[in-house]
Amino acid sequence: MNCVEFLAGRCSSCSQLAVPYAEQLAQKQQKLALLMASFTGAELLPAVASDVQGFRTKAKMVVSGTAAEPVLGILNGQQPVDLSACPLYPPAFEPAFALIKRFIQRAGLTPYQLEQKQGELKLVLLSQSQHSGRFMLRFVLRSKNCLASIQKHLTWLQQQWPELEVCSVNLQPVHMAVLEGPEEIVLTSADLLREQLNGIPLYLTPQSFFQTNSTVAAALYATAKQWAEPLSGHKLWDLFCGVGGFGLHLASSTQGQVRALTGIEIAPKAIASATRSAAELGLTEVKFQALDATAFAKAAEQRPDLLLVNPPRRGLGSELCNSVLALQPAWLIYSSCNPDTLASDLALLTTEYQLLKVQLFDMFPHTHHAEVLTLLQRRDLLS
């Protein structure tokens, strides 16, 4: 992948860009093999590769410059770097960024200046549905001072950009390196962006988490479903379920086995999205609840046959691992975005579980990051 900003030394976000992609993947696989070396009997499967460019369907752009000449990208020190043409994004992003810049000019949105603590517009967040090609646009503002101007000029933007499905404002008044605040103001009639992976509809709200690499995410979900198909048992729990990507894939079996799904996620809007998807799929044995995953697992009186977990980078931690051990589900599928915390959690879980399969999914090319999917079985059930 050729990147002018990387070659010029202005952007180092893709820290491994100078390394040939095949070598990047081999290095990640080698690191994973070392982390998993102590878990005997596990099968390390070949890594799932990504496209090397045009794969990132979600952009986070710092807004700098001026209202007359806005810059969308990053700050290299105090120097604005325009990443509108970044090759990580699909082709439709560059013209979208050009329209957003024109909108900023028309609406007179003053970029926030970190040093001076002045200005209003901090970030532009842009997501695209791989399925429909439609967009969700979010403006992160310091206050409501520019809200009326955004509302006034939004019709113009929608006329210029028919693919814009959802537009919102997020208020982040704190002078800190915090991506967004709790208050979201949706400005369009639509408040959800519909994605579809492997035939499963997923509804994204402005503040819901979703993978940045939709193609590899589809492969990840499909693999988890493939691993789960032959497993016995009817009850499935999906902890940290988000909008339901994993759980809905596993609940809607292609081999006639339909599982009773309980999905747990702390964000109520994500739960509402997952519930809508389940209804659209005609799944009746499904219950999504807005609860803390650790507290839910600790208080549970019944156990699932299959437990699926997809925690944030910090991993499960000892408390939730101990709850899993106490519950004793027959099977465990663990998807991790941090191989190091995964290894720490596995050290606790494998006292009573056998690690069977491990596979790396390269969700984040040109970086050291990787997604890892694992399958474990309770030791007393091993044949």
Which DSSP string do the residues of 286-354 spell out, in sequence order? EEEEE--HHHHHHH-SS--SEEEE---TT-SHHHHHHHHHHH--SEEEEEES-HHHHHHHHHHHTTTEE
Cα 129 to Cα 144: distance, rounded to the nearest angstrom: 28
Question: Left if phi > 0, otherwise alpha if psi is -120 to 50, otherwise beta: which for 233?
Answer: left
Tell me which residue has tokens 């800190």: 176
Residue 79: in which H helix or E strand, if any? Answer: strand 79-82
With vertex at residue 55, the alpha carbon angle to CA 79 and CA 333, rounded to the nearest 5 degrees, is 115
Enter the tokens of residue 182: 């709790």
Say whether 146 is catalytic.
no
Residue 132: DSSP 8-state: T
- Catalytic residue from among 11, 146, 167, 337: 337
Cα 311 to Cα 264: distance, rounded to the nearest angstrom: 11
Cα 274 to Cα 278: distance, rounded to the nearest angstrom: 6
> How many helices, marked H, and strands, marked E, lie in the chain?
10, 17
Cα 60 to Cα 74: distance, rounded to the nearest angstrom: 9
| Catalytic residue set | 337
